[in-house]
Amino acid sequence: MPQTLTNNNVRGNPYRIRDPHNSSLVEIWLVSAVVTVLVIRFYLYLTGYPQVGGDTLHIAHMLWGGLGMVIAFGFLLLFASSIWKPLAALVGGIGFGTFIDELGKFITKDNDYFYRPTIAVMYGVFIVLYFVARYFDRRREPTEADHLYLAAQGVAWQAIGKLDKRRQEEALASLNASGNSSAIATHLRELLENAEIVEESEQSRILSIRDKAAALYWRAVRHHWLLPIVVGLFIIRALEIIVTLVIGIFVTGEYDLGDGISVSELLSFAAGAVTGFLAVLGLVMIIRRQRVLALQAFAASTVVALLFGQFFAFATEQFVAMIGLVLNLIILGVLRLALSVENDRFLDEGEAEEDQNPRTGLGKFL
């Protein structure tokens, strides 16, 4: 009779198994939704708010948003591979942003797209979604069952002949983190360690591009000019925010707490203060030579600026806000790449320092 493989009586809840990449997927979804709202409003502003559909019909772009969300659901429902998740998050975010952009028409009696509180309402929706996602992501640490399930995903990639070095290392790291020594864990380890790794030429294009970008990052890290550029950018950001807040409080009276302050002004002030604080925190981490914590703080500062600060900037100066939007997206992309590469290095070298683990510290909140 064949040997029965046991797992030391590990009993996991199938409804609570978590994907360690969910945080970045939620971020992709939210950022793409926010960017879509801003891009649509900027485009309509430039083109004079045209009406699609002629004299009789009005084809609201909310409908295209619904189509985008349907396509995203299709990626998740029709395909088993997790490789579609990032694309589903991106397309779904674009769809949701296109959908919610017309919120003003559906909360006013006269279908007013330009209803001023709409931006604040959308902002509140994004805030709630962001923190609900963070709550579910942080409410508990990964369990032994979570780690075993994630390790088994590596075998699934092996079964279709697409197990690359990075996925093998992630699966083995999950197996090690489980601490499980059962027959199933032993069998998984044997399969993963003896697996045939696909050549770089056989990798998916996405992974090939990522590997090239990682190599470029490490070449840049080895040059002494990179750190001054990063520090310089965030010094400028921190000073800009601090000066803006000081002028708003003591010069222009924009944030005059004694004379009364509107909700939008208060939220704008709070977003700027948090963005500036995180930028300064990152600079402190750079001085203390804690590169990963610095990258996490800079990324958090950029996320706050994108999700929250850009809304209020766009409400006052659309063109300047679009420039800031593009710059923030570029900065966030570079920082996400850097943190991803640092995580790979942590897995490869098994560093003991907890503050160098991209999944700890501020990494729990990103």
State pLDDT tens for residues 310-337: 767 766 665 566 667 767 777 777 787 7
Higher pLDDT, 94 or 104: 94
In a domain, 209, yes or no: no
Residue that the structure tokens 């208060």 belong to: 266
Start-end of H helices in the chain: 22-47, 61-78, 85-100, 103-106, 118-138, 144-159, 165-178, 183-193, 205-221, 226-250, 263-287, 291-304, 310-316, 318-349
State pLDDT tens for residues 59-83: 788 899 999 999 999 999 998 877 7
State pLDDT tens for residues 269-294: 788 888 888 888 888 888 888 888 88
Mark whether 231 and 349 lie in a shared domain: yes
Sequence-distant (≥ 6) Cβ neighbours of residue 70 within 8 angstroms: 95
What's the pLDDT at 88? 92
* Residue 11: burial class (beta carbons within 10 Å; 0-12, 13-18, 19+): exposed
In a domain, 339, yes or no: yes
State pLDDT tens for residues 105-164: 888 888 888 787 777 678 778 878 877 877 777 666 777 888 888 888 888 888 888 888
The rounded distance, in Å, linking the Cα atoms of 231 and 250 is 28
Long-range pairs of 334-337 with CB within 8 A, sequence gap ≥ 24: 335/295, 335/298, 335/299, 335/302, 336/24, 336/299, 337/213, 337/214, 337/217
What value does the mean pLDDT take over residues 202-213? 67
Phi-psi region of 164 (alpha: psi -120 to 50; beta: other; left: phi over 0): beta
Number of domains in the chain: 3
The rounded distance, in Å, linking the Cα atoms of 169 and 192 is 9
Task: Using the 3D structure, point to which of 138, 168, 183 is the last residue of a domain.
Answer: 138
In a domain, 236, yes or no: yes
What's the pLDDT at 361? 46
In a domain, 354, yes or no: yes
* pLDDT band at 221; cut points 50, 70, 90: low
- Phi/psi for 163 (5° steps) reads -80, 110
Mark whether 127 and 151 lie in a shared domain: no
In a domain, 280, yes or no: yes
Mark whether 229 and 319 lie in a shared domain: yes
In a domain, 11, yes or no: no
* pLDDT band at 93; cut points 50, 70, 90: very high
Tokens read off for 12:
């996991």
Does 35 score more than 60 pLDDT? yes
Contact between 118 and 103 under an 8 Å Cβ cutoff? The reply is: yes
What's the pLDDT at 327? 75
Mark whether 195 and 246 lie in a shared domain: no
What value does the mean pLDDT take over residues 45-61? 74
In a domain, 212, yes or no: no
Rounded (5°) CA angle 278-282-286? 170
What value does the mean pLDDT take over residues 160-170? 83
Does 46 score more than 80 pLDDT? yes
Mark whether 131 and 151 lie in a shared domain: no
Domain residues for the domain of 112 are 22-138
* Residue 22: burial class (beta carbons within 10 Å; 0-12, 13-18, 19+): middle
Mark whether 228 and 361 lie in a shared domain: yes
For the chain, what is the mean pLDDT?
Answer: 76
Q: What is this structure's pTM?
A: 0.68
Contact between 18 and 146 under an 8 Å Cβ cutoff? The reply is: yes
Mark whether 257 and 359 lie in a shared domain: yes
Alpha carbon of 13 to those of 10, 16, 149, 150: distances in Å? 10, 5, 11, 14
Contact between 296 and 359 under an 8 Å Cβ cutoff? The reply is: no
Task: Using the 3D structure, point to which of 108, 138, 168 is the last residue of a domain.
Answer: 138
Residue that the structure tokens 């299709």 belong to: 74
For the ranges 25-39, 40-54, 351-365, the maximum mean pLDDT occurs at 25-39
Mark whether 317 and 229 lie in a shared domain: yes
Task: Using the 3D structure, point to which of 89, 110, 138 is the last residue of a domain.
Answer: 138
> What percent of the chain has a predicted confidence (pLDDT) above 90?
8
Does 366 score more than 50 pLDDT? no
Does 356 score more than 90 pLDDT? no
Tokens read off for 122:
């959308």
Mark whether 191 and 256 lie in a shared domain: no
What's the pLDDT at 67? 95
Mark whether 242 and 360 lie in a shared domain: yes
Mark whether 107 and 233 lie in a shared domain: no
Contact between 104 and 115 under an 8 Å Cβ cutoff? The reply is: yes
The rounded distance, in Å, linking the Cα atoms of 278 and 265 is 20
Mark whether 150 and 131 lie in a shared domain: no
In a domain, 2, yes or no: no
- Closest by CA to 360, choosing from 343, 336, 345, is 343
What value does the mean pLDDT take over residues 13-39? 79
